[in-house]
């Protein structure tokens, strides 16, 4: 895929030359492999040049030992009332979009956020097998899937398309998907509609879903500044990765993997494996509100709490967390870190 066929390259140049005439169709033109894949997103549309040039890009691999504990990170607020919208197979991803004329939008605020954001859409990333799927990796591990809730800065901007390329425009909340036996009732509302969006261009209404109930039961998260993981890769996104996975059953995953990239007549390949490759961190920091000094981990003198320090300091907690797991004989998956194999 690194070799671009000369004729295809000419076609790309030709398309670029057409400029504004075909702007609307750019939205549909990118893919996750081949000559319109992630390595070329920044070349096929000049407005997406951050996809190739950016240095604050997403997704990233989160390394536990490099996390910075920040005691000033508050817990995240998400409204709990239910909303309705539409689930779309876009040919690149499975996307849920909130109803345009929603009266009471879901606010996302607090946590690391300086502004109030309005929930807008959910992206589903997943693998065609269990060894890949999530865009963000934790300690080098890819989960079978990742659900991303996107909102835009409602205090500064009017809508997603205005906000996405502006400062502090977007929030992305990332939920890692792990395979489990007990269905998540809120996720179920969406997964039961998978068979209605088998092909590109199909969509189906989803009614009365509570995002807050979809979230895992944790106030702990990791956060960093990055980009949207789809074109144009604008570096306007505050990412919040929750420190627990949510569960999807094998049956739900099976239904998800039946979705196709193409139409019913030409279904092409399965929709899965729609993850952008990992991007370099380039000296960014990933902060966390997980305070291991106060979670019942060893409180010996050799392990001072972060509160006494006048500066941030990296937690060395990969060993602590595994020690804690061993102490309590934790067989269970408690956080995204515990759920690593």
Ligand X SMILES: *[C@@H]1O[C@H](CO)[C@@H](O)[C@H](O)[C@H]1NC(C)=O
Query: Catalytic: which of 117, 123, 150, 157?
Result: 157
Q: E strands along 180-245, which residues?
A: 203-209, 221-226, 237-242
Which residues are CB-neighbours of 90 under 8 A, at least 6 positions away?
Answer: 28, 200
Kindly state the number of chain residues that form the binding site for ligand X, as judged by CB under 6 A: 9
Instruction: Give the footprint of ligand X on residues 80-99 (CB under 6 A).
Output: 81
- CB of residue 95 vs ligand X: minimum separation in angstroms? 15
Q: Whose CA is closest to 338, among 50, 139, 135, 87?
A: 139
Phi-psi region of 54 (alpha: psi -120 to 50; beta: other; left: phi over 0): beta
List the one residue from 5, 103, 158, 308 that touches ligand X (CB under 6 A): 158
**Residue in 161, 192, 195, 295 binding ligand X, rule: CB under 6 A:** 161
Is the bond preceding residue 232 a cis peptide, omega within 30 degrees?
yes
Single out the residue of 11, 25, 159, 195 in contact with ligand X (rule: CB under 6 A): 159
Decide whether 107 or 132 has the Cβ nearer to ligand X.
107
**145-153 vs 83-89, strand pairing mode:** unpaired
- SS3 state of residue 36: helix
Give yes or no for residue 107 binding ligand X (CB under 6 A). Answer: yes
312 catalytically annotated: no
Contact 326, 312 (CB under 8 A): no
Minimum Å distance from CB 112 to ligand X? 18
Q: Which of 15, 63, 77, 79 binds ligand X (CB under 6 A)?
A: 79
Query: Min. distance of Cβ 107 from ligand X in angstroms?
Result: 4
**Choices 90-98, 159-167, 258-266, 328-336; region in contact with ligand X by CB under 6 A:** 159-167
Distance, CA of 123 to CA of 100 (rounded, Å): 17
Q: Is 52 exposed, middle or buried (0-12, 13-18, 19+ CB in 10 A)?
A: middle
**Residues 241-280 interacting with ligand X (rule: CB under 6 A):** none
Q: Are 109 and 100 in contact (CB under 8 A)?
A: no
Stretch that binds ligand X, among 11-19, 155-163, 259-267, 305-313 (CB under 6 A): 155-163
Interface segment toward ligand X; rule CB under 6 A; list 39-47, 52-60, 156-164, 273-281: 156-164
Interface residues with ligand X (CB under 6 A)? 79, 81, 104, 107, 116, 158-159, 161-162
Give the catalytic positions in this structure: 157
């Amino acid at each position: 895929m690194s070799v671009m066929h000369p004729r295809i390259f000419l076609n790309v140049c030709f398309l670029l030359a057409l400029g504004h005439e075909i702007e609307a169709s750019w939205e549909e033109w990118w893919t996750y492999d081949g000559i319109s894949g992630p390595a070329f997103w920044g070349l096929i549309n000049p407005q997406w040049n951050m996809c190739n040039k950016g240095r604050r890009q997403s997704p990233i691999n989160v390394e536990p030992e490099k996390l910075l504990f920040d005691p000033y990170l508050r817990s995240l607020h998400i409204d709990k009332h239910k909303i309705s919208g539409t689930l779309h197979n876009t040919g690149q991803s499975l996307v849920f979009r909130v109803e345009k004329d929603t009266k009471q939008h879901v606010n996302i605020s607090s946590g690391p956020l300086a502004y109030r954001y309005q929930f807008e859409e959910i992206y589903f990333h997943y693998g065609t097998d269990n060894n890949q799927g999530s865009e963000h990796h934790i300690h080098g591990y890819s989960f079978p899937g990742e659900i991303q809730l996107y909102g835009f800065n409602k205090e500064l901007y009017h809508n997603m398309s205005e906000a996405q390329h502006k400062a502090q425009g977007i929030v992305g909340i990332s939920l890692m998907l792990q395979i489990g036996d007990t269905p998540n009732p809120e996720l179920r509302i969406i997964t039961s509609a998978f068979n209605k969006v088998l092909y590109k261009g199909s969509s189906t209404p989803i009614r009365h879903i509570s995002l807050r109930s979809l979230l895992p039961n944790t106030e702990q998260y990791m956060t960093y500044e990055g980009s949207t993981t789809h074109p144009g890769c604008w570096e306007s996104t505050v990412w919040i990765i929750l420190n627990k996975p949510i569960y999807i059953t094998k049956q739900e995953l099976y239904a998800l993997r039946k979705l196709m990239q193409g139409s019913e007549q030409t279904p092409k390949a399965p929709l899965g494996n729609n993850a952008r490759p990992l991007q370099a961190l380039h000296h960014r920091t990933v902060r966390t509100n997980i305070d291991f000094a106060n979670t019942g981990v060893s409180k010996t003198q050799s392990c001072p709490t972060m509160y006494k320090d006048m500066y941030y300091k990296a937690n060395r907690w990969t060993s602590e967390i595994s020690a804690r797991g061993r102490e309590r004989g934790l067989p269970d998956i408690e956080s995204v870190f515990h759920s690593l194999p």
